[in-house]
Structure 1
Amino acid sequence: MFLFEEIKMKLQAQCPDLIKGVETIEVTVVPPRDNYVYALKGTIAIGDQEASVYIAFKKDFPIRKPDIFLEDRDVFGFIPHIEPDGFICYVHEEGLLLDQDNPFGIVKDSLARAIRTLEMGVSEDNYDDLYNEFEVYWARQKTKIVVDCILSLGERVKEIYVLYDPKLHRPVFIFDALDEKSIFYAKNLFHYDILDESIEKQKGIYIPLREGTRLLPPSYSSPWGFGQIKDIIFSNITSSNKRELQRILKQKRIYRNTKEYILLSVPQPNGYHALVGIELSEFKARKGLKNNKSFRHPLIKVQSDFKLTPLVLKRHHPSYLLQRTIGYDEIHNKHIAVIGLGAVGSRITMELARAGVSKFTLIDDDVLDIDNVFRHELGSERLYFFDQKQHQLQKVPKVYGMYQELKEKYPLIDVEPKVKNILDLIREDIHQFEQFDLIIVAIGNPTVERYFNRVVRTLTDPPPVIFTWLEPLGIGGHALLTLNNGNNGCYECLYTNPFDPDCALYNKASFAAPNQFFGKMISGCQTAFTPYGSMDALQTAILATRLALSVLTGKEKDNPLCSWKGDSTDFLEHGFKLSKRYELTTEQLNNTRYHYKAQQCPICGQDGGS
């Protein structure tokens, strides 16, 4: 305890401008937010008003910061960043760096930050935080129900569905409609069968408040009553929404065992929307009501007494979840085709899904094999399925394996798997490729890639295409963009020799010198493969995914050749030779990313390209 006594004496001697009357108190006096081992009490001043605070230390101090509390939570009124137990949220733990060698400095700085937080609250300098953190304060109410929700927000009043579990005696899931996506999501994540008659499905109302509404959350000591909620709704919705709301309400009758749900979308100054709700239950007719078996909805006329319980909503919708990542909301509705679901293509698909893309067409005629699993997005659990008709195990096509993986992790994504060879699809109908916003080709077959590069340009409105491939033995990988914004530069440019059009074909992006064979065979010709590691595939997938996101968000205006360069030790030890391009630094590779373009290219060049 010597450390804490020393801190107390230093606060008394050196910090009278921050805190006065510092004394040791029992840790049991402090709200039990953590297992504290020591606590101090003192008096601070915000303007002319004084307040008592606790400084509580955890056993891991000074690795962890001290917690600071107001003894009287309401001494400065309802201001931001004060919790119901008086805890002052003066700094975020995430990314916090503490100088463990200066414990007193940590306490002094923490106290100064807490005081500054209070000063900003009293002066209303951070008052927008109350609006922007509406959901946080709503969740601090004493009595509440936490419910999972996959509701898509919008500008119109609408009816919604609430899944109620009679065994748990509470709502468990709120969703837009009884559609295939909601059924799949509920079954996959919550193991509820929406169509099961034993699971109650009730209707609620979603009400978006008008843009520009400035609504403070209820304070800890003054929760909202229903009359206040009703006034908030009808004072802050558009006239068209008011008409639609009244239409829905007139059709509703409330019974004693009814549970009614109202969800509010609350605009915030930061441009986002809070989503909160209430449950109305235990309806009882008011005295004097002739028909005491059913009532009007209380938003129209209050004919009954009832219990009001706040709903805290755990939001699952992608547009909300992407706000917690560097997700790209503007690409949510983009449709991407991935051709080739090997080590690179499978990872690109998963990363684009995580970034926010919600619609994929996956094209590959190959099956997942045990030889692939150590460098593929899919693992051994996706290798086989049991064929009931033939009563035997069958290998799983890669596109079906990826379909299952995507749907299990992100049930709201639309995925169309096609077990087809790309050449067959071209023969069937080349124009089907016009439906996509971006095509990614990761098949590792330069002959087929050159052909696809040629035929896709015959389309009336071809989408951008990214070709991506790996080099052997970890020396690098590449991603080439073409057909972006009508600019020249294409896959054929890499094989165009401006000085000798009849020379042997060679990819001039390559880090390996020409005329070398890199295939490796473990047990015969049928097992030949190009040696590369999982990290090489991952690095190339990251490169291609970043390029894809730049295209989809409109940041990339031209057609670059992007490359990453790895270590050449293993490559050289196998007796292989490097190309001149490998000698370029990473900075030089980036600075010359548009220099690959060939004016004489027969596909896109100015001297004869389309």
Structure 2
Amino acid sequence: MEIYFEFLQEYGRDLITDLERMEVNEPNGYVLKGTVIVNNKGVPILLSIPDEFPRKLPEIFLQNYDCLGFIPHVEKNGKICFVQQEGVFFDQDFPGDLLLESIKLSISTLEKGESGENRFDFIKEFESYWLGQPNIILSDSIMNLNDKVKLITVWKSVKGHRETLLASDSQLEAKRHFEKVLKQDFKDAKPFTGIYIPLENHDGIYPPGYDDNWTASKLRDVVFNHINVGNKNKIYKLLRNKLISTNPGFIVISIPHVDRNTTLIGFNFTLNKYKGRPNRRKSHLKYWMHPLHHFSGNTKLLPIHFFRHNVDYMRIRGGAIPVMSSRHVVIAGIGSVGSRIAMEVIRSGVNKLTLIDPDVLSLDNIYRNELGADKVYLRAKNKEQVSTQPSMKTRALAEEIKAKFPHVQVYELPNTLEEALIEELIDISEVDLIIVATGDSSGEVFINKFLQDEISAPPTVFTWLDPLGIGGHALLTLNKNRTGCFKCLLHRETLYGPMVNKASFAQSGQNFVKTMSGCSSAFTPFSSLDAVQTAVLATRLAVNVLMGKEEDNPLLSWKGNAEEFLSSGYKLSSRYLKSTVEDLYTYRYHYKDDSCPVCHKRI
């Protein structure tokens, strides 16, 4: 470590002066102190070089954390957050340069903070500063945030030394959160009324300093200077009617960012009694008024930090697309490919799903399915006894979805898609997308023709696998009144020969079905990774359709390694042999048959 002290003395003189070694009791690392120049001011800093350097960056601290005032990116212990390390690569081959660059970035961060250039970073990091306050209270929140003042309920449950708070605007959702997420009995939770206040802008709003809390006066200044007239009148009305003067009470505030994100903070308070003028009953005891009232007295506010679990926030945090929440998707065939697609379309933001499959979940197929052994059997209760029975795939996957994503609406149909269409078990005019992952070519021919004949049919994705990892496919049809359908892929190589799928990577006329214990155990060989890759291909296509990004009906294919396929004695198709990965995408619309009797009749 001494080498870094000598390096900075020789090459870092323009950045750091008065460099000294420090004797510290920490078991790891090497600490130096010195002075850097920030906007023409000498500022004492500490430079901590860990034993893992340069694999781990040095830490740089202000010796007095508030020597430049309260500025962004300086923690209470003086640590300067000069870089976001996630996703950033550092050149470890030149540790000296890395050390100098860390000091430069720290100085730049301090200069921007002291000059006010990065003051808006306070808003971006508001919740981090808020969490650092003394006496902070932690709470979950499942409130739906909007631009209207509204009453909310804060549910409080105390078990031993453990206190749980949950802010909600729906008792049903609060019950579900307590029981499904927190694993607590909702009967133990007591409700308290609170108020939610959305601010219009963040101008002039800064988090409190590390040793400060907002007072009732500060709270009123922030609220009434940053809300519109309608919301201001709503607050006055609630105060007059004493609808928010519960004891204890709660206030929740949302602060908008410039990047359309939102900060959520809260307050807990108790309306204490005080001795005032006697009333008609000659009682001198009265309560201080609500802290939003100008005569609130010495009401003390305790800050609340919210862990946000409302659906919209979690979707965006997980990469979901907000517009997808209103979409209804039907998935037919929820085996190895369809079960994965179901989970991923939900993660993309879809909030309404219909699952169609007539089969039961088999224990010998769980290594290729999203579901595990715990879903193979279902406990059934009657008046006499409790028994087990095989689970339908639709029921098993619906339960899995509801356990992981309790807000999603899931509908089950233990039928074939053909039955569901013929018997009108689903209203296709209310569906945004159908995904067919049955692996049943004959059934898919019927489904394709049926939907092509229906005026109200939604866009439909057909997806399937080739055997032994050589590839997978996803075909879109019925999109934006364009031609191209499943029938376009089918042709006869000879006058009376069987129908052949020209998208296939396997040469026609081969049998890939394997059995392990007779005909009842027949299956097509492919791995779970093959199913996942096909599910990803189909899901990305589905998302593009639901977002309106796909203008036509493409045939998309992924091409895998054919080594196992060939070693098993099988032959590849000319499409596999002649097409590069780039060709498969470039010519994704070239499969269309201009004489197709199905999709061209529709146009």
TM class, shorter-length: over 0.9
Amino acid at match of 1:570: E
Q: 8 Å contact 1:253–1:295 — kept in the other structure?
A: no
Report the Cα distance in structure 1 between the residues aligned to 2:507 and 2:17, rounded to whole angstroms: 75
- Note closer, same or farther for the CA distance 1:322–1:251 as it changes in structure 2 (3 Å cut): same
Amino acid at match of 2:433: L
Deviates more, 1:582-591 or 1:73-82: 73-82
Does 2:22 match 1:25?
Answer: yes
Deviates more, 1:168-177 or 1:587-596: 168-177
Paired residue for 2:263, among 265, 274, 277? 274
- Post-superposition, which runs of at least 4 consecutive aligned residues in structure 1 deviate over 6 A? 499-502
**Mapping of residues 146-295 of structure 1, within 5 Å:** 146-167=138-159, 168=161, 170-179=163-172, 181-194=173-186, 196=187, 198-211=188-201, 213=203, 215-252=205-242, 258-281=247-270, 283-285=272-274, 287-288=276-277, 290=279, 292-294=285-287
Task: Specify the alignment match of 1:355 in structure 2.
Answer: 348
State the SS of the aligned residue for 1:343.
coil
- 1:546-593 C-alpha deviation (Å, 9 max, x unpaired): 111111222211111110011112222222221111121100001010
Paired residue for 1:143, among 135, 143, 146? 135
State the SS of the aligned residue for 1:105.
helix
Q: 8 Å contact 2:252–2:267 — kept in the other structure?
A: yes
Task: Specify the alignment match of 1:397 in structure 2.
Answer: 392
Residue 170 of structure 1, CA deviation: 4.2
Report the Cα distance in structure 2 between the residues aligned to 1:100 and 1:289, rounded to whole angstroms: 75
Deviates more, 1:444-453 or 1:98-107: 98-107
Q: 8 Å contact 1:464–1:482 — kept in the other structure?
A: yes
- 1:158-201 C-alpha deviation (Å, 9 max, x unpaired): 1112111234474521112112x33222211101233x1x3211
Report the Cα distance in structure 1 between the residues aligned to 2:294 and 2:40, rounded to whole angstroms: 48
Report the Cα distance in structure 2 between the residues aligned to 1:519 and 1:10, rounded to whole angstroms: 69
Report the Cα distance in structure 2 between the residues aligned to 1:88 and 1:212, rounded to whole angstroms: 24
Deviates more, 1:456-465 or 1:505-514: 456-465
Residue 104 of structure 1, CA deviation: 2.3
Amino acid at match of 1:203: T
Task: Specify the alignment match of 2:310 in structure 1.
Answer: 317
Residue 462 of structure 1, CA deviation: 2.1
Does 2:85 match 1:88?
Answer: no
CA RMSD, Structure 1 to Structure 2 (Å): 2.2
Does 2:49 match 1:57?
Answer: yes
Report the Cα distance in structure 2 between the residues aligned to 1:496 and 1:213, rounded to whole angstroms: 66
**Mapping of residues 575-586 of structure 1, within 5 Å:** 575-583=569-577, 584-586=579-581
Deviates more, 1:463-472 or 1:448-457: 448-457
- 1:268-295 C-alpha deviation (Å, 9 max, x unpaired): 1111111111111262336447563555
Residue 304 of structure 1, CA deviation: 5.0
Amino acid at match of 1:280: F
- Note closer, same or farther for the CA distance 1:241–1:117 as it changes in structure 2 (3 Å cut): same
Paired residue for 1:597, among 568, 592, 598? 592
Does 2:524 match 1:530?
Answer: yes
Amino acid at match of 2:302: T
Deviates more, 1:530-539 or 1:385-394: 385-394
Task: Specify the alignment match of 1:31 in structure 2.
Answer: none
Q: 8 Å contact 1:254–1:295 — kept in the other structure?
A: no
Deviates more, 1:288-297 or 1:513-522: 288-297
Report the Cα distance in structure 2 between the residues aligned to 1:27 and 1:71, rounded to whole angstroms: 14
Amino acid at match of 1:300: H
Does 2:546 match 1:552?
Answer: yes
- 1:56-96 C-alpha deviation (Å, 9 max, x unpaired): 12332222111101112122222221111111000122234
Report the Cα distance in structure 1 between the residues aligned to 2:183 and 2:221, rounded to whole angstroms: 38
Task: Specify the alignment match of 1:48 in structure 2.
Answer: 40
Residue 388 of structure 1, CA deviation: 2.3
Report the Cα distance in structure 2 between the residues aligned to 1:289 and 1:507, rounded to whole angstroms: 92
Amino acid at match of 2:250: Y
Aligned length: 595
Report the Cα distance in structure 2 between the residues aligned to 1:53 and 1:70, rounded to whole angstroms: 5
Paired residue for 1:116, among 98, 108, 130? 108
Amino acid at match of 1:8: F
- 1:23-58 C-alpha deviation (Å, 9 max, x unpaired): 011335xxxxx9643211000011221110001123
State the SS of the aligned residue for 2:388.
strand
Paired residue for 2:443, among 441, 448, 462? 448
- Note closer, same or farther for the CA distance 1:460–1:185 as it changes in structure 2 (3 Å cut): farther
- What is the TM-score of this pair, normalised by structure 1? 0.93
Amino acid at match of 1:61: F
Amino acid at match of 2:118: N
Q: 8 Å contact 1:276–1:312 — kept in the other structure?
A: yes
Deviates more, 1:245-254 or 1:143-152: 245-254
Residue 133 of structure 1, CA deviation: 2.0
Residue 387 of structure 1, CA deviation: 2.0
Q: 8 Å contact 2:157–2:163 — kept in the other structure?
A: yes
Report the Cα distance in structure 1 between the residues aligned to 2:269 and 2:370, rounded to whole angstroms: 46
- Note closer, same or farther for the CA distance 1:6–1:598 as it changes in structure 2 (3 Å cut): same
Give the unaligned 5+ runs of structure 1: 29-33
State the SS of the aligned residue for 2:144.
coil
Amino acid at match of 1:316: H
Deviates more, 1:553-562 or 1:325-334: 325-334
State the SS of the aligned residue for 2:399.
helix
Amino acid at match of 2:236: Q
Amino acid at match of 2:136: K
- Note closer, same or farther for the CA distance 1:249–1:456 as it changes in structure 2 (3 Å cut): farther
Residue 131 of structure 1, CA deviation: 1.9
Q: 8 Å contact 1:431–1:459 — kept in the other structure?
A: no
Report the Cα distance in structure 1 between the residues aligned to 2:358 and 2:170, rounded to whole angstroms: 35
State the SS of the aligned residue for 1:27.
coil
Deviates more, 1:265-274 or 1:118-127: 118-127
Deviates more, 1:267-276 or 1:53-62: 53-62
Q: 8 Å contact 2:469–2:561 — kept in the other structure?
A: yes
State the SS of the aligned residue for 1:91.
coil
Q: 8 Å contact 2:150–2:196 — kept in the other structure?
A: yes
Paired residue for 2:501, among 504, 507, 520? 507
**Mapping of residues 326-405 of structure 1, within 5 Å:** 326-389=319-382, 391-405=386-400
State the SS of the aligned residue for 1:489.
coil
Give the unaligned 5+ runs of structure 2: none
Report the Cα distance in structure 2 between the residues aligned to 1:178 and 1:235, rounded to whole angstroms: 32
Residue 374 of structure 1, CA deviation: 0.6
- 1:130-177 C-alpha deviation (Å, 9 max, x unpaired): 122222222221220111111111111111121112344745211121
Residue 431 of structure 1, CA deviation: 6.2
- 1:317-367 C-alpha deviation (Å, 9 max, x unpaired): 232233334322221221111111100000011112222222211111211
Deviates more, 1:590-599 or 1:124-133: 124-133
Report the Cα distance in structure 2 between the residues aligned to 1:135 and 1:542, rounded to whole angstroms: 35
